[in-house]
Each structure stands twice: as structure tokens, then as C-alpha cells.
Amino acid sequence: MAEATCRRELDLEIPAEEVQKATERVAKEFARVARVPGFRPGKAPVQLIRRRFGEEIKSEVAQSLVPERIERALAENKLSPVTQPRVEHVDFAENGPLKFHAVFEVLPEFDLQQYRDLEVEVEARDISDADVDKAVEEMRERAAAFAPVEGRAAENGDYVQIKLAGTPAGGGDVLQASSVLCHLGSEETIEAFSENLRGVSMGERKRFDVQYPTDYPDAKLAGKTFHYSVEVLGIKTKKLPELNDEFAKDVSEAPTLEELRARVRKNLEAAREAQQKQLSRDKVLAEIVKAHEFPVPEALVERQMDARLERVVRSLAAQGVDPRAVNVDWVSLRQRQRQRAIEDVKAEILLDRIAAAESIEVSEEELSRELGRLAEQTGDSAAALRARLTKEGALDTMRSKVRSGKALDWLLQNSRVHSVVARK
């Protein structure tokens, strides 16, 4: 039966004789290089050196003996730590043994439950003409051009370009923007802006108040009232291109609109298949995790929580958002990742055990292929990437990830995945 925790503790002792030999060796080394007033370099008596540099010598002795003793104890107890052992309660009396307490975590011990021939359901959905229409319309929106409105006031559907300054009721920091584009009457535009900008003309100035709802996404604005002063810089209308063969040539390499629609359908079907395969992998893995109950090393959970938070930060940065400027409680956000992080760690441990049980390994060719794929993303050469990962000690981590991916593919191939019609 698996223990309730992966934490292990060892009380260890290095015999006095071994400590004394190491102390004499380190003291002689200190005597060889130490500079002591009244003595030429290397000529000070060892006993004087031991008195003068006693603490430094003890520290050096401990650093030389403790790791070796821990390594021997781990081998004797057949333990493989997943974290660097932490040394506590060091008792190092002169002429006596060196006693200390080592704390570390190990992978859990458990029996693999049924993992072959699993059965999962995945929703299947055909790509419809409406899906193709929507994708083509999105392409049309992206290809749209803005044209200035002349000879009339702003109306629903127009884009009003404004310069604004907003002061919160009761005082506070002024909200300023030199150019904001408001789409009048659209869902993404706050109604108060549409109401007050409807009917404005080029160069007009207006003042109005906006009461933000309490659930507004930006915490700096949520539930507050702002007094706005705006200047209309321009009024524009969006001109959508006509859906014809010329449009198809402008937005793609397709010669006709019919061919563009065919290519869009093919891309949507490929994306759907990839999504369904990933969903199948996720469901199979979830079934495996659900079937096993065992503790996980806290250090690995903490590492996974950090990795999840890092992905959030990278995602914000990729969208051009400075994570430091976002009003987010990062501590709470990290803590909310805990349960998912535990499941991630359990999944990795299980995939490693299944890979071992099924003799799944990673060849050099497979590792090189993965290095090449990553090198394309980073702009490095595969050789440079391999050298950097080797230097950082991360090549084995990459090999382990590739092995886990192979194990998950094996699980999927040896499971029964049923497609069910998606509910509409």
C-alpha cells in the first residue's frame, strides 16, 4: 500500500575517525594557502590554522563528507530522490562524529491498475456549410478597409475615433487615451459610449459619465463612475470586400471563391481531427489518473504550478500585454492551479510507469527529430539547441517528455474511443 506522503527522512552519522581524517586534510590545505600575520605563506602551524579558521574548516569538511554519506545511504535504502536532499540539524562537535538529518522526496510506490483497452467517448461534429461561411466571413472581416465618413453625423455601425480623458468620481488617477476606436451599437462597446457618440460630428467635443458594472473585466474600472471628456478625431465606416474570385485571390492562393471555400473546409476538418485526437488523449489520460490513487511529491507539484503560471504569463506577453501591468492576484492564481498541477504530476508519473512496463523508449533519431522541431520554433540550429540543453542538464527532461508522448500515443492506440454526436 502506498504511503500517504512522498517525504522521506534519514538520520545519518559520519564516524569520528572519518571526520578527523577529513579535518586534518582540509586543515593542511588551508595551511598551504592561508596568509597568517608573522608567518610566510604555507609556514603557519596546522594547530594555529585550525584555531584561526575553525568554522571555515568545519564547513569545508561537511561539504566534502555529507553528500557522499547521503548518496551511500540512498543506495543502501534503495531510494531515488526527486529533489535534492535538504540537510538539517547538523551536530558537528570537535573530535566527535558528524550527525545530521536529511529530508527529501521520492516517487510514490503503487501498483499499476488496468490501463489497456480503456473505453472513452469523444464528441464528433461534422464541418457544416455554416462553419465554412463563418470562417470565410472572418477572413472578409480581416480584409476590410476603413473609409472616412463625410457629410453626415455618426450612426450605429460607424467607428468613431476619439481622444479621451476620464476622471473617476471622488478623485483618482486620470484615464487617458490619445486614440480609441468605438464601434457604435456593437456588443463590445459600452452602451453609454454608443449613446453619447451617436450623432456626433468630426471635431466635436462632449462630456458624459459612464457607470461601469461591478463585474466589468478591468478591476480598475469595475463598479466605478468616470467623468469623460472626449474629442472626436474622425468617423469611419468599415467596407467589406465583395465575396468573389478577386477576394479569394487577395486573401489566399486560391484562384476562385469556390476553391477558397474548399480549402477552408479542408483546414477546418484537419483542425477538427487534431482537436478530437487531443481530446481523446486527454480523456484516456484522465481515466488512467482517476483509476490510481497515490501521493505525489510536493516539489514536483510546486514546479508544475510554476510552469502553469509561466504559460499564463507567456500567453499575455504573446498578446502584447505586460503581465506586470495586469491587475491580477498572481499568488491566488498560482494557488488555483494546484489541483490541476497534482493531476499533471500524477499523469507524468503514470506515463513513465506505463512506458517502463511496455518497454517504450526514445531512439536517438526520435530525439533528433524533436530537437529539430523545437529548433525551428526558436530559430536555433538543432546542434546549438542540443548543446545548450546538454549544458543545462535539460536533455534528459526532453527525452522523458518525448517518451511520455509515445506512451500516451500507445495508450490511445490500445483504447476504444467511441465517437458520439455532439449535442446542439
Say what the pLDDT of residue 403 is.
94
- pLDDT at residue number 58: 83
Lowest mean pLDDT among 54-58, 200-204, 340-344: 54-58
91 neighbors 100 (Cβ within 8 angstroms) = yes
- Please check the confidence at residue 1 and state whether its pLDDT lies above 60: no
> Across the chain, what does the average pLDDT equal?
88
Query: If you search the block for the grid coordinates 476504444, which residue do you land on?
Result: 416
pLDDT at 299: 92
Predicted pLDDT at 321:
72
Phi, psi of 389 (to 5 degrees): -65, -35
Cα 194 to chain centroid distance, Å, stands at 39
C-alpha grid cell, residue 9: 527522512
Collapsing DSSP to helix, strand or coil, 418 comes out as strand
pLDDT above 70: percentage of residues in the chain: 93
349 touches 341 (CB < 8 A): no
Q: Is the pLDDT of residue 327 over 70?
A: no
Nearest-5° Cα angle at 18, 16 to 23: 90
What was the pLDDT predicted at 46? Answer: 66
Please check whether residue 125 is in contact with residue 282, taking contact to mean a CB–CB distance below 8 angstroms: no
- Check: CB of residue 124 under 8 Å from CB of residue 148: no
Q: How confident is the model at residue 381 (pLDDT cuts 50, 70, 90)?
A: confident
User: Does residue 393 contact residue 84 with C-beta atoms inside 8 Å?
Assistant: no
Q: Rounded to 5 degrees, what angle do the CA atoms 104, 403, 274 make?
A: 125
Q: Rounded to whole angstroms, how far apart are CA atoms 132 and 157?
A: 25
Q: Which three cell numbers stand for residue 399?
A: 527525452
User: In this model, does residue 407 exceed pLDDT 90?
Assistant: yes
Taking the C-alpha atoms of residue 306 and residue 54, their distance in angstroms, rounded to an integer, is 41
Distances 152 to 179, 214, 265 between C-alpha atoms, Å: 21, 36, 41
β-bridge mates for residue 120, sequence order: 417
CATH number of the 270-421 domain: 1.10.3120.10
Is the pLDDT at 205 greater than 50, yes or no? yes
- The 10s digit of each residue's pLDDT in 264-321 is 999 999 999 999 999 999 999 999 999 999 999 999 999 999 998 888 888 888 777 7
Above 50 in pLDDT, residue 3? no
Q: Which of the listed ranges 151-165, 214-228, 383-397 does the model predict with the highest average pLDDT? A: 151-165
Q: Establish whether domains 145-239 and 270-421 are of one fold.
A: no
Q: Domain ranges in the chain?
A: 7-105, 145-239, 270-421
Q: Report residue 8 as a C-alpha cell.
A: 522521506
The pLDDT-based confidence of 350 (bands split at 50, 70, 90) is very high
pLDDT for 49 = 66
Q: What is the pLDDT of residues 83-138, one digit of tens each?
A: 889 999 988 877 789 999 999 999 998 999 999 999 998 888 889 999 999 999 99
CA distance 337 to 234: 45
CATH H-level, domain 7-105: superfamily: Trigger factor ribosome-binding domain (3.30.70.1050)
> By C-alpha distance, which of 303, 344, 401, 388 is closest to 83?
303
Q: With a cut of 60, say whether residue 228 has pLDDT above it.
A: yes
Contact 259, 248 (CB under 8 A): yes
Closest CA to 26 of 71, 64, 57: 57
CATH class of the structural domain 145-239? alpha beta
Residue 332 three-state SS: helix
